[in-house]
Amino acid sequence: AQSVAQPEDQVNVAEGNPLTVKCTYSVSGNPYLFWYVQYPNRGLQFLLKYITGDNLVKGSYGFEAEFNKSQTSFHLKKPSALVSDSALYFCAVRYRPYNQGGKLIFGQGTELSVKP
């Protein structure tokens, strides 16, 4: 079965420090991986995705993620955290390509808290 796991419910970092939000996946076939951010009472905003190509994906707001096939991971990173990065982060996998339908399966979410 297709699944996504975010092992940390919460991540706390100090402003200016690097941050990592972890994600591991289990899919059959090639994974299509996504990261989204959610602010309180809002929908999800797209950060970045991995479909194919370079394992290091750069996205919005200075975020990047590294696809590691051997470890089945897709951790989200940022070199220098901002207080405004504090939000709920979701990793997701699509287990079918577009032309065969494409549901997103979400991880349980990780709450990122960046303190001044």
Nearest to 55 by CA among 47, 65, 40: 65
Q: Which residues inside 38-57 make contact with other proteins, applying CB under 8 A? A: 41-46, 49
Decide: is 5 part of the binding site for other proteins (CB under 8 A).
no
What DSSP string describes 23-71?
A: -EEE-SSS-EEEEEEE-TT--EEEEEEESSS-SEEE-GGG-EEEEETTT
Site string for other proteins, 59-88 (x = CB under 8 A): -----------------------------x
Decide: is 31 part of the binding site for other proteins (CB under 8 A).
no
Shortest Å, Cβ 107 to other proteins: 7
